[in-house]
Amino acid sequence: MIKNFKTVSAVVFGIAAIAFVSYACKKNERMEVQHRDQEKILYADLAGRAASTTAGLFLGGNVRKVTSISYQHSLLKALKASAEWKAATAGKTIEFGGITRTYVFNSDVSLVTIPIRTGGAGKDYFNVYIQDKQLLITKLSETRNSNGLTTYSIRSSAGELYYQFDLNGKNQMGNWKFDKDIPKAFTARQTAQSGREGEVCSKKKFYGCMNCLIIDVCGSDWLCTIACGLAVPSCVGGAALVCLLS
C-alpha cells in the first residue's frame, strides 16, 4: 500500500513538474515575443486628422502612426525567410537602429522602412509593404545634387526603376519620371481612399493612378509639397500606398 502510494505520488509529482516547466517555458516565450515586438512611437496623429481629400491622402495625410521596431519583430518573419529579401540584401549592411513601421488610416497594410548603410553621401532604404504574408519590396535612393535638388528614385528589389522625382528646398516635388508600373499587390480590405478624385484615380494602374493624383493634387510640378512632418522615405512610401491597393 505504501509502495503504491509512493509510486502514485512520484507520478503526480512528475506530471506537476512537467506542467510547471511547460508553463514556465511558454511564459518565457510569450515575454520574449512581447519584448521583441515592442514598438516605440515616433509620430502619431492623435487627433485623427486623416485628410478626407486626395491631397491629404497623397501627401502623407493617410499616415496614422510611425514606430521604431526591431529587426527581430515578428512582422518581419516572412520577409526575412523570403528568397527575394535574401537576394535584395546580399552584400548590403542594414542599419538595424533605424527601422520604422508606418501605419496608415483605413488600411491594414504596414510599410516597413529599413535603412541601408551606403558609406557615401546618398542614402538608401528598403520600403517594404506587408499585408499578412503578402510582401512587396521596393528600394528608395536619396541623392543630393549640386543644383540644390534632391532626387528620390524608387526601384524594384532587382533594381528596375519604378519612378523618381526631385525635391527642392521647400519640400516641393517635381521632375517626375515613370518607367515601370508597380504591381497592385494588396487588397483594399477597407475604404482606402476618400473623396471623388481618390476613388477615380485608384481604379487605374499604378502609373495612371500616380499621374492622376499628381495632376489632381499638384496641378503641375513644384506645386505639390510633402508636408506630413515625417522622414521622406516613410512619407513617399505611404503616399504610394494609395495606388498599390486593388
Residue ranges covered by each domain of the chain: 1-36, 40-241
CA distances to 57, 140, 192, 195, 229 from 225, rounded to whole Å, are 12, 18, 21, 19, 11
CA distances to 31, 36, 58, 145, 174 from 238, rounded to whole Å, are 31, 25, 8, 24, 18
CA distances to 26, 74, 215 from 34, rounded to whole Å, are 12, 10, 45
Query: Per-residue pLDDT averaged across 70-86, rounded?
Result: 95
Can you tell me whether residue 107 is helix, strand or coil?
Answer: coil
Q: Could you give the residue ranges of the DSSP H alpha helices within 37-144?
A: 54-58, 77-81, 83-89
- Ranges 13-17, 65-69, 95-99: which has the least confidence: 13-17
Asked if 242 and 209 touch (Cβ cutoff 8 Å), the reply is yes
Asked if 114 and 128 touch (Cβ cutoff 8 Å), the reply is yes
Residues 31-51 have pLDDT tens digits of 555 578 999 998 887 766 555
Residues 175-228 have pLDDT tens digits of 999 999 998 888 876 544 444 445 578 788 898 888 888 877 777 778 777 766
Question: Whole-prediction pTM value?
Answer: 0.79
**Does the pLDDT of residue 80 top 90, yes or no?**
yes
